[in-house]
Structure 1
Amino acid sequence: MGVIKRKSKTAKNGYTYEVNFTYKEHGVTKRHFKRGFITKKEAELYEAEKKNEVQKNGALSKKKKITLNEAFNEFLLYGSGQYQENTIYNTRKDWHYFKENLGLMQINEITHTVLQSYFNDRIKEGLSTNKNIRKTLNRIFVYCIRQQYIDNNPLQFVVVKGEDRSRKKEVLSQNDLNKLVNKLREKNKFKYDSYAIAILIGFYTGLRISEVLALYKSDIDFENDLIRVEKKLVFKGLRKQDYYVSKQMKSKKSKALIPLPLILKNQLNQWLEVNPYARIVCNEDGSFVNPTCLSNQVKKIASSCEINFRFHMLRHSYASILIYNRTDIRIAQDLLRHSNFNTTLSIYTHINEEQKKQAVNEVFKIDCGNFVADSKRKNESPKENPLCKGVSK
């Protein structure tokens, strides 16, 4: 039938157009129709689009009237299995940023323009937060495309801006490490000794806090000086009694055998004489340590020593020490278990002002006397040579 003209009491001109046609889907005859087009041209364009869709895909997409909030909940139920626990935790956390605005809209009504306007309104918010919201929305849109609720991802060309509030990637010096560990041990309590060994492991291996807290004695090979890293503690959004160890790591490279430094080996040997439990870092009853409590209490003690502390600083420190001591980038990459060496260089390498000065002075070992000699041959004064400004005769 194609395009049909229908009388309408609500339309201004007294009629609307309907698209009505049959098509074959896997050999079965089906009918598709849609009403309410204002002009015949609009209806014909829609008809051509749908027939082209059948010809290309062998079927029509399963469009569904669903809001972004409904799609979000459906994604959590059916589409989140491929993601890490922390990714889903952060996805849930980001929901409140858009649930009262974008979340109320039909998924097929959220266009590039709508999304760009949304992020433009957030330009004075943190850039990192805005990027995380974009990632969360992208997961939902990708799920909706797979479910054939929408044809394209409206986020594709959206530009996200905001205020850069990222903290400087600070490191912990060896002296500050020793000072902090000694301060913890002065408490003379099992809990603080456990915190101290966690910090030492983080500093000398670069392990993330979730990986440190998931280590068992059986993961340490004292004979071959190796640590087996193959699991992490899952804790975000959970009660302490619900913490568990997972072998689903951040990436394939995260699982590895890494060297056990002699200095850490000695510390671990002493600690395991005191700690009777299977877990390396634990509470006095052998239970999992709460990562937030560890970080907050160590941060408080560090502050009393005028030391700035975040557990992830230990990983920054490990990476920076490797790079500063000219460790081959491929070795550093393997030790940090990064998927590519760009991450090793761009994210974790901390270079201070003294290191910059040292690098420049080592590279540019120029005797300006040569330039002075050259200038004399040209009857020039040394002061006239721009390369030797500030150089005394």
Structure 2
Amino acid sequence: MAKFKGVSPRGNSIQISFTWNDHRYRETLRWEPTPKNLKMANSLRQSVIYDIDRGVFDHVEYLKKFPSSSKAKSLVKSQADFLTIDVALWDWLKNKRSYIERSTLRDYTSAIKHHLSPRFGLLTVNQLKAKDVKEWLAKLSISNKRKNNVITPLRQCFKELYLDEVIEQNIMDRVPNLSVSSREPQPFTQDEIDLILITLSAQCTDNYRPLIEFAFYTGLRTSELIALHWSDIDFQNARMEVKRARVRGVTKEPKTSSGRRFVDLVPEAINALESQSMHKMLNIDEVFYKLEKSAVFKDDQYIRKAIWTPALKAAGIAYRSPYQTRHTYASQLLSKGANPLYVANQMGHADWGMIRKVYGKWISNL
């Protein structure tokens, strides 16, 4: 029978021994000491040694490798008495880095750096109380939606600490998300649409009418609009494929399978594309870009500040966000009797539940 260092039979079990932080640890595996099981025990021990050498072996990893170990459980419980929330949050974010979108990583980093660590960072994970979080949220002078976003890293971090048995209870389960009132859609009337487009047409140079007209008659999100390529357009079948979006300068695929979709092009949208084709450039794949700089849009900021807001002001129309072009598209289709499921597919929703909830009053047969 082969012998392995730190692995030895003990009656009907196998004992593994290793040194960590200058302490000797022994763990008993309830495995029959067969040659195959001894080899498996050695592989387990080698993985422990490897993690120790890399400096990544800790109380949580100890428990993961030896889930029945009373020693590991006692170490994990004691860890909660000295693990600070600051360390826990940054460790959690480090582990999540490769699994989340760059824009999400940026938001989480900001929430931890500017809100969570300054307020709770010095507390240990055992010291935080639900009451502390609720009182802090009540004093924050930001919207409820923003508050919910800010505590998301804390909520997810504590959930993992609980699942890893670092803490005995998850106090964040007693901190409900704050209610967020949904804003009523404020679609533009046809007269308002026409006035906005006429105002944009009156610009002597850098005419952005095609961009705004296309937004009104396709319902694309701005992130999808600025990432649209000419190769995505099928003029022959009067449709386009939405298969990417750009957020904060990063181009990515839609978050959901329903987000990647084909959208039918009505005559007004075709007209906008034909007008935009006059600005088509060989070195730019995007349909819409910054005309004066011959550069792609990184996000919606330039459109909102330099194009949209001045156009509404010049037209004498009360300000509404560019997202209302999407609401306008949906409400117009539904008012004309379009099938709600068809509208949902056009807009990238998995089903028509959202359409019913948001645009119910524009659906004639509800």
**Displacement of 1:312:** 0.9
State the match for 2:267 in structure 1: 262
Of 281, 289, 295 in structure 2, the residue corresponding to residue 287 of structure 1 is: 295
Instruction: Report matched runs for 1:214-233 at 5 Å.
Output: 214-233=227-246
Q: Which residue of 2 aligns with 1:245?
A: 251
Contact 2:84–2:124 (Cα < 8 Å) also in 1? yes
Partner of 1:139: 156
How far off its partner does 1:152 sit?
4.3
Code of the residue aligned with 2:315 in structure 1: it is C
- 1:325 to 2:336 alignment: yes
Distance 1:99 1:313 in 2: 36
Q: Within 5 Å, give how 1:17-36 maps onto structure 2.
A: 24=28
SS of residue in 1 equivalent to 2:92 = helix
Deviation at 1:339, TM superposition (A): 2.9
| Aligned length in residues | 297
Please list the CA deviations of residues 170-229 of structure 1 after superposition, one character each: whole Å capped at 9, or x if unmatched.
Answer: 222222222212212222223xx2x43222222112111111000110010111112111
1:211 to 207, 224, 230: 224
Structure 1 residues 287 and 166, CA, compared in 2 at 3 Å: closer, same or farther?
Answer: same
CA distance in 2, matches of 1:267, 1:121: 48
Indicate whether 1:175 and 2:191 are aligned.
yes
Whole-angstrom CA distance in 1 between matches of 2:259 and 2:107: 20
Q: TM-score, normalised by structure 2?
A: 0.70
Q: Cα 1:267–1:159, aligned 2, differ >3 Å: closer, same or farther?
A: closer
Aligned to 2:315: 305
| 2:116–2:154 CA contact under 8 A, matched in 1 | no
Cα distance in 2 for partners of 1:318, 1:293 equals: 22
Structure 1 residue 251 displacement after superposition:
1.8
| Preserved CA contact (<8 Å) 1:180 1:302 | yes
Offset, 1:323:
2.8
> One-letter code of the match for 1:296?
K
C-alpha distance in 1 between matches for 2:30 and 2:232: 55
For 2:273, the aligned partner's letter is: L
Aligned to 1:278: 285
Partner of 2:171: 154
Aligned to 1:78: 95
Is the contact made by 2:199 and 2:314 (CA closer than 8 Å) also made in structure 1? no
1:292 CA displacement: 0.5
1:253/1:337 contact within 8 Å kept: yes
In angstroms, what is the RMSD of aligned CA positions? 3.2
1:182–1:210 Cα change, 3 Å: same
Contact 2:188 2:325 in 1 (8 A): yes
User: 1:251-293 CA deviation, whole Å, 9 max, x = no partner?
Assistant: 2211111212222112202221332242101123432125212
- The secondary structure found in structure 1 opposite 2:326 is helix
Aligned ranges for residues 45-194 of structure 1 at < 5 Å?
A: 57-59=67-69, 60-61=72-73, 63=76, 64=79, 65-95=82-112, 96-122=114-140, 126-145=143-162, 148-161=165-178, 167-190=183-206, 193=207
Q: Is the 8 A contact 2:116 2:151 kept in 1?
A: no
Q: Does 101-110 or 306-315 show the bigger shift?
A: 101-110
Secondary structure in structure 1 of the residue aligned to 2:262? strand
Counterpart-to-counterpart distance in 1, 2:28 and 2:129: 31
Normalised to the residue count of structure 1, the TM-score between the two structures is: 0.66
Whether the 8 Å CA contact 1:169–1:350 is kept in 2: the answer is no
Q: Report the CA distance between 1:166 and its aligned residue.
A: 6.1
Give how far 1:296 is off. 1.0
The 3 A distance-change label for structure 1 pair 222 and 171 is: same
Q: Identity over the aligned pairs, expressed in percent?
A: 17
Give the C-alpha shift of residue 317 in structure 1: 1.4
Give the whole-Å Cα distance in 2 for the aligned partners of 1:69 and 1:254.
Answer: 36
Contact 2:89 2:157 in 1 (8 A): yes
Number of the residue aligned with 1:46: none
Distance 1:330 1:136 in 2: 35
* One-letter amino acid matched to 1:67: T
CA distance in 2, matches of 1:80, 1:144: 17
The answer as to whether partners of 1:316 and 1:350 remain within 8 angstroms in 2 is no
Gaps of 5+ in 2: 1-24, 32-40, 42-62
Cα deviation for residue 72 of structure 1 reads: 2.5
SS of residue matched to 1:98: helix
Larger Rg: 1
Query: Where does the alignment leave 5 or more consecutive residues of structure 1 unmatched?
Result: 1-20, 29-52, 236-242, 364-393
Tell me the distance in 1 between the aligned counterparts of 2:227 and 2:340: 27
Q: Take 1:83 and 1:261, find their aligned partners in 2: how far apart are those partners? A: 36
Q: Secondary structure at the match of 1:318?
A: helix
